[in-house]
Structure 1
Amino acid sequence: MTLPRIDHTHEPSLTSWVASANGHADFPIQNLPLGVFSPQGAQPRIGVAIGDSVLDLAAIASLLPEAMQPAAGQSSLNALFALPPEDRTLLRRRLSQLLSDEAHRRDVETALHPLSEVTLHLPARIGDYTDFYVGIHHATNVGKLFRPDNPLLPNYKYVPIGYHGRASSVRPSGEPVVRPRGQRKAPNADVPVFEPSARLDYELELGIWVAQGNALGTTIPIGEASEHIAGLSLLNDWSARDLQAWEYQPLGPFLAKNFHTTISPWVVTAEALAPYRIAQPARPEGDPAPLPYLLDAQDQAQGALSLTLSVWLSSAKMREEGRAPLRLSQGPASNMYWTLAQIVAHHASGGCNLNPGDLLGTGTISGPTPDSYGSLLEITEGGKNPFTLPTGETRSFLQDGDEISITASAHAPGRASIGFGECRAVILATPA
């Protein structure tokens, strides 16, 4: 397995002539995430977040390596994702040089735009979206609600469970979520009703962006899977739990999941994440080893990431009163039973063709304790134990006007920490 290497672009002492980047919580020069933005009145184009600014790649294309210039002028990241890993590394190194060396300031500074004055878009044209279920604590917690004596089904520890989602309803951070309608049936009711969901929930996830894909009928070996990951974003796979409970048998979620998925607009590249790789947590004693097509020694040694994930809730009343959002949970991304590479390898293992810009969700990432749970379904034990907000309001599930925000940071000893930006959306009432 060839993983991105740590190099001079990750040096914690490296600074930028873009003053706001130095010490920035999310976008110091060690990060350089990719996204798509549009200045006021202009068409979308590719940008790089640096401090409180975004760098227009099309405007500096002539300063980039020649092989990358056509891709830099596009309005989505698909072409950049499709480049060989070594080309993406060269792009990162060149951007780092341009933004750190004062000698390039005159040529680059005019291509910077304040982040506060631009519109951020989906990073790529998403051909397909697949959601997995690799957070073992989430799977166990949810399983206990329905099968207290047997929370995990027998296949869970052999198969990275996933289902095909709806790419057309993936939206960038900031776009509101309209409460969905669907069929739901109360336990004591004889028949279902078609109404707005009363048990709307969030799911704390990471989104994996596919880089180079594979041809239909071929596979991606586990030892090569990391080379097919362009980077990560934050992902919130909104879930209507009452609709889901009624419709998911026998084929799985449908209306409960397809109405909206929120992603953060910046792609933190695989190259930027190189210093934050850690060993995949050892499986509990007695658990089966992954089947050979999912097992790679280097992936087990370096396939997890040192990321801290947090979820915040702000009600409409909290915002009216000027109150800070309430943190609902916080925990490490290493609470995943399967690695990112195993997700990719399994997806392609039957001959499915992945394409640059495809999006894969990890599934809800929860920890072992309530302060690290990744959904309200777990925090409130299916709605049985509501919690109180600073305003005195209570919540079991999300109400209209509630806003959920997901944040994340990568950290490692002796390294600058980097962040993902924000994955945020407010809930709107179902239209009349």
Structure 2
Amino acid sequence: MKKYLITILLFGWMGVVWGQGTFNLSFVKDSIVISKSKDSDIIIAIPYTYKTTKGDTLANKYILTFSVNESTLPNSDYSIDFRPRLLSSLQENETVYVRLKKDILTDRERRLDLKINIKNDDKDVNDHNLGDKKNFTLIVKSSVDVSDDYTLLSYLGTNFDMADGKTKAKNLFFATNVFVPPIESKNRFGFYLSLYGNRTMSNTDSSRYSNRAFKVQPVNDSLYYRVRGSGSIVTTTTADNMGVHFSPLIKINKRGNHHFNLYYAPSLEFVWRRINTLRTYGAPTELDTVYESGFIPNRVDLSQNIQTQKNEFDFSVGLVGAFLTYETKAVSVRIHSSVGYLGRFHKNSRRSVVNEVLGSETIAPMDKAHDIFYTGRAWITEAVTGITLQAEITNQFFKPRPFFGVTLSKAFKLKDIGSILSPLVNK
């Protein structure tokens, strides 16, 4: 009995001795991911906890510090805001601060590994720590400004042709956009420049004709016949556009999420439009056939499609305009709207016909039209693949004439255009 009593007392005494000087210090998280800033230092708060234990009898002698383990972040890029402290002075929830210095250079990912370090009279007593998170990793991403990735982009893709009621990819779309936002404390104004070529649709109109000669066919030199009937006509108007757009940018929102920005953006735009009008005649229903003699008119066959083209030149000044951007490392969203004066120039069609009949070499004068326009455009670009969806609509107030279009393209850096076009150049 004495032997067992002595054994219990011995283990109890050893447990008391071993329990002396234990403590519980632990980081709240294992790691944090942060990105460098090009404009200012970043202060990162790293929380940790301190819990008292029954064996925490030397708290007024143990000193807490933080040491750096195998860091790939240069010493010049950071500083730790912490002075050695006695454990007895700690609260349950504490914080150590790391100042990450601004950096304008693009860099690879770096890591800063922190370790809780406890000493007693310069003796390491970290093995007395009962905490479960004794190490912390600060993952530092590159200081690349997101706006740099979207500043200068070119796009190559296709328009969606919706004229026949079916969405299908058709016709080439291309654009080059230059987006230079104003930078606070450096410049007050930025600008947006776009050079583009696309196809927009104006309208599709369905109508019918009745008791109309839809075919004239000569029989011989003095005899011909007319076929009269009724049927349907579908008139589709599209425009192939070549344009240049320019907007100065004045930032409106001063604070808030740095990914979101709103600008006042008046605009100047010049567009050359080639207006295509296609009349598609449905199968006619024949009513009667009339034979006539005498002068034979030109052959008419309304069963065939008739297409006409004309050129127009639009010059617009947008006095009221807004430019909204939301850009992250994953996506770029840009929305632009504008309202202002529109001047349209096109050839005088009547004078052109007269000149052709008379054989005159005189250039027909240009007709002018004036109106108030409004337009809206939206660009959504996925950063990894560069896939871009773009939509736009333009219309007039007094004489409504909408043009709308949707495009799908791939965005690429202008410097990469050589690799894209090399297969064509090398042929």
Q: TM-score, normalised by structure 2?
A: 0.23
Q: Relative to total residues, which structure has the larger strand share, 1 or 2?
A: 2
TM-score w.r.t. structure 1 length?
Answer: 0.23
In terms of Rg, which structure is larger? 2
Which structure has the higher relative contact order (CA within 8 Å, separation 6+)?
Answer: 1
